[in-house]
Structure 1
């Protein structure tokens, strides 16, 4: 039995440990900027560099909260870009997408960029950069984490498996840890959803497997 099946079984018997309340909000969708539709809701994802998913999470340091912006390829689960700093201004998510753009291997004309409706992803500083570089913008419509399930999953993986959940001495050290974590995650960590292959391997194979989402199946 895999991890997800085990969690479903435990959930059906009410045996899962309840999560603590999320006390640090990283998404501010109360703004007047245009919010794109959810373009991937019923979309069939078939290959690498078709859809990128992005999110921001917080990292605890001795000096206070730092923020980590991630860009992940939805098909291969490869971490394409990231940026970590002591603020979550729009420049943070632009920096993460710039890294992802530099790491493109197939250079398609259009890539759907999917994120939450936070102000960083809807403000002109980000949207203008993204559209100028050929990205088609897509955002979640509700507060359901399953609307951006791949991004939510990699957040948890980096925190709980690579030590980013614990309090870190400084932003500089957190950046070094993140750089190492990204390399190991992409090149060494095996995924059940990738038939026990690494994100790097599946990404380069382009369309070698059937896409598996982390979305909860309807009953």
Structure 2
């Protein structure tokens, strides 16, 4: 199993893709999670599984972190999108290092897999989506809720936003002292 610990923000991310049935078609959701704060720092929703699904999520995460991501280790599984040339190029452009799990082992990306259980249980399970626009809106609302309001036991029952802010404040105070 992978070591999903990080000493600071922007030192380790994990990512994954899940699909959501919408009538006879699908939407795909790619997420990037900061391992230290459990915050979703990047995501993308599309009606395809092209590499741009994951590169868009990375670009969102890089922007959310102010471009300061050089050296981040990005854990993923081995789906084709994370091995594609366009993904490798975006990763290298930002100085992001790759860590890929073994084929067929969900334990190698357990944090990302675990994250997807919440929206599947709370939002998607038992619902029959007929509109991609409505499904996208509800996913956006759910993702917007998770960071500032959902408490995590791994964070001492604080939200990812609270925990991340506390890390920044503590680091700032230690630099001043």
Aligned residues: CA RMSD: 2.1
The CA distance in 1 between the partners of 2:47 and 2:4, in whole Å, is 35
Q: Which of 26, 43, 49 in structure 2 is aligned with 1:82?
A: 43
Deviating above 6 A after TM superposition, structure 1's stretches of 4 or more consecutive aligned residues are none
Structure 1: tracts of 5 or more residues without a match? 1-39, 209-219
The alpha-carbon distance between structure 1 residues 83 and 108, as it changes in their structure 2 partners (threshold 3 A), is closer
Matches within 5 A, 1:1-219: 41-42=2-3, 44-104=5-65, 107-161=68-122, 163-165=123-125, 166-206=127-167
The CA distance in 1 between the partners of 2:152 and 2:105, in whole Å, is 24
1:111-150 deviation per Cα after TM superposition (whole angstroms, max 9, x unaligned): 1111001110001011101111110111002422121111
Compare the two structures and name the one with the higher helix fraction. 2
The CA distance in 2 between the partners of 1:133 and 1:67, in whole Å, is 24
Structure 2: tracts of 5 or more residues without a match? 170-177
TM-score, reference length from structure 2? 0.87
1:77-127 deviation per Cα after TM superposition (whole angstroms, max 9, x unaligned): 101111111111101111111111110158243111110011100010111
1:49–1:106 CA contact under 8 A, matched in 2: no
The CA distance in 1 between the partners of 2:47 and 2:66, in whole Å, is 30
TM-score, reference length from structure 1? 0.71
